[in-house]
Amino acid sequence: MSEQSLVAELVTEIIEDALARLALDRPWESYGLAAEVHDDGSTVQAAYYFDADGTAEPAPMLSRTFTLVELREAVRASDGPSWDVFVLKIHRASGQAATRALTGDEAAEWSLLPEDDARLVELLRSRPDDFQGPIG
């Protein structure tokens, strides 16, 4: 399997895991997840539902965190470094999902420390420019 195919398969598994854990019977407009993956394989996650009026509520985390670790290893450069934070956003009505893999200074702004919750909620809120097609 090519590296690109493996990455696509792992990202699909992550999205399917998130969708399987979301409450499909409750009102939510979008979902945002940020996950830090450390070199020792441990992960830290934060996830939120957003309803139509913009209210955010904690949402389920991924259950198969090993998939995040596998994804990180699959994209690791041969010289060592890989991404530090993986971001997933899902827009329910349009059926679109968007992912980002962040490193360095860009990853640092996504700190998952509890004192950064309000800022993280805003970063995870879906915006039209997060997706390739219209979400409205």
Domain boundaries, the chain: 3-127
Q: Does domain 3-127 have CATH number 3.40.50.2300?
A: no
pLDDT at 89: 92
pTM of the model: 0.83
pLDDT at 32 over 90: yes
pLDDT at 56 over 90: yes
User: Which amino acid would we find at residue 128?
Assistant: P
Residue 36 CA to residue 10 CA, distance in Å, equals 16
Distant-in-sequence contacts of 77-83, Cβ < 8 A, 24+ apart: 83/37, 83/107
pLDDT at 80: 63
Residue 71 CA to residue 66 CA, distance in Å, equals 9
pLDDT at 79 over 70: no
pLDDT at 43 over 90: no
Mean pLDDT across 22-31 = 80
In three-state secondary structure terms, 50 is strand
Mean pLDDT across 61-77 = 82
pLDDT at 55: 92
In three-state secondary structure terms, 71 is helix
